[in-house]
Amino acid sequence: MFTAILSACGGNEGNKAGDNTEPTSPSANDNTEKATVKIIGFNKEEVRKTYLELLRQQFPNYDIQYQFVDNKQFTNVVTTYLASGEGPDIIEGADARWIAAGYLEDLTSQPFVSKYYETGLKSSTINGKVYAIPLQSWFEGIWYNKDIFTQHNLTPPKSFDEWMDLHDKLRAVGVKPQAMGAKSWEPMDKQAMGVALNDFYSKPENKDFDEKFGKGEVTLSEAWLPAFTKWDETIAKKNLTPDMLGVEYDQALDEFATGKAAMWESGPWAYDTMIQKNPDLKLGMFPIPGTAEGSGWLVGGPGSAWALNKNAKNKDAALKVLDFTSTPEAQAALIKDSFGTSFLKGADNSELPEQYSDSKSAFDEGNVYAPWANWGMLSGADLILELGKQLQDHLAGGTSIEEVLKNTDKKAQEIRDSMK
């Protein structure tokens, strides 16, 4: 979903406020102080374009700088910054290890925090303290080419078996069923998890699984194995093939957008790029289906979040940026370049665009979830990256699906042990 030249960051001396500083309401007229506000994120700048432009308009005397770091390196890069007592002022995400190490500011007492629904704050709240404010929600499903589907009398699947049948029917008429940029760890992760959302998480008795997994009370290899075994049929049927391990995200996007494949797993952030490549492209998105027929599930939920570096060089200015971010105007700017819904109370959430109409039932039923966001100390990128690497090895023929999950459990325990 998501290489950057890393710029040097200033030290931790400067215009820092105390822990209980409350920002005044920001406006373009009262910003007399020259300040640089550095933001680091794993979403490309184009995903934040309208929002960043709005910040620069609102704060003409601030130098708003945005640094993109690819998701593969993001956690390590930010951890290195924070461990040195330096780094950008505003950080995308609130890794539990950064919180445990005291790197992030406790935002609980800031007035803007109360403007958000609890569901948006949950993944950034530890021991009752809030360490980040949510940005717009995100979700991923299966994009499909409506013209190809119409030409061959195909409709979005309601079950996993129907989805597998779609692949067979498309192949039979000479159409590549699915593009996959499996050089990235993300797409297989999310497809397999999508089946687990349908087959495991939809059951009420499993509602506390992620919290228990974070604490080490349960394992993925026991809970997820049936769902991942079901998903593995797509590899057995050669819908996903080892050559895809050499395909980048952008290559898969291009393959799908230019009509060389009928389906592709991704999210709303890819929509504009696909239409730019092919203005005549008619798109739809359906949820990832499960074993039983149903509305399906989208992988997603509260999107990323803005956290504040406790050693921010310009903490006052950064707090004003966070305060302004907590307004309907700023939330609308975030949504403009990457569709999602806002967790801000009273925000004007956009009507569902037509390309997502096949996912309406899933949205209506609340079938949007990202398990790893609720794994506590395991919620950082390391474990989800490990699962992706294990699935890549599986696609290459190196491990069984059971070994994928057992190896991920082993990595999870290593992370828990490192934080004791």
Percent of the chain with pLDDT over 70: 91
Helices (H) and strands (E) in the chain, counts: 18, 13
- In this predicted structure, what is the pLDDT of residue 32? 56
CATH of domain 36-137+302-353: 3.40.190.10
What helix, strand, coil percent values describe the chain, rounded to 5? 50, 15, 40
Answer whether residue 233 shows pLDDT above 60.
yes
**Mean per-residue pLDDT over the chain, rounded:** 89
Could you confirm whether domain 139-300+371-418 is CATH 3.40.50.2000?
A: no
pLDDT, residue 33, reads 57
pLDDT above 90 coverage of the chain, percent: 74
pLDDT score recorded for residue 27: 45
Q: What is the pLDDT of residues 277-287, one digit of tens each?
A: 999 999 999 99
More confident residue, 396 or 97: 396
Work out the average pLDDT over 158-167.
Answer: 99
Is 140 in a helix, a strand, or coil? strand
Res. 260: pLDDT tops 60: yes
Residue 208 contacts residue 410 (beta carbons within 8 Å): no
Radius of gyration of the chain (CA): 22
What pLDDT was estimated at residue 90? 99
Render pLDDT for 132-147 as a digit per residue (tens, 0 to 9).
Answer: 999 988 899 999 999 9
* Positions of E strands within 254-314: 263-266, 283-286, 298-301, 305-308
185 φ, ψ to 5°? -75, -15
Buried b (16+ CB within 10 A) or exposed e, 264-281: bbbbbbbbeebeeeeeeb
Q: Give 347's pLDDT tier (boundaries 50, 70, 90).
A: confident
Q: What is the pLDDT of residue 20?
A: 38
Supply the angle between the helices 315-325 and 328-337 in degrees, to the nearest 10: 80
What are the strands, taking DSSP E only, across 272-351?
Answer: 283-286, 298-301, 305-308
Angstrom distances, CA of residue 406 to CA of 297, 374, 388, 412: 25, 20, 13, 10
Residue 16 has pLDDT above 50, yes or no: no
Span 49-64, average pLDDT: 97
**Mean pLDDT along residues 368-397:** 91
Domain boundary assignment for the chain: 36-137+302-353, 139-300+371-418
CB atoms near residue 63 (< 10 Å):
13
Mean pLDDT of 242-271: 97
pLDDT above 80 for 364? no
Tell me which range, 203-207, 234-238, 342-346, 377-381, is most confidently predicted by mean pLDDT.
234-238
What's the confidence (pLDDT) of residue 147? Answer: 98
Report pTM: 0.70
| pLDDT for residue 15 | 31
Cα 310 to Cα 177: distance, rounded to the nearest angstrom: 48
Q: Is the pLDDT score of 17 beyond 70?
A: no
pLDDT tens, 170-188? 999 999 999 999 999 999 9
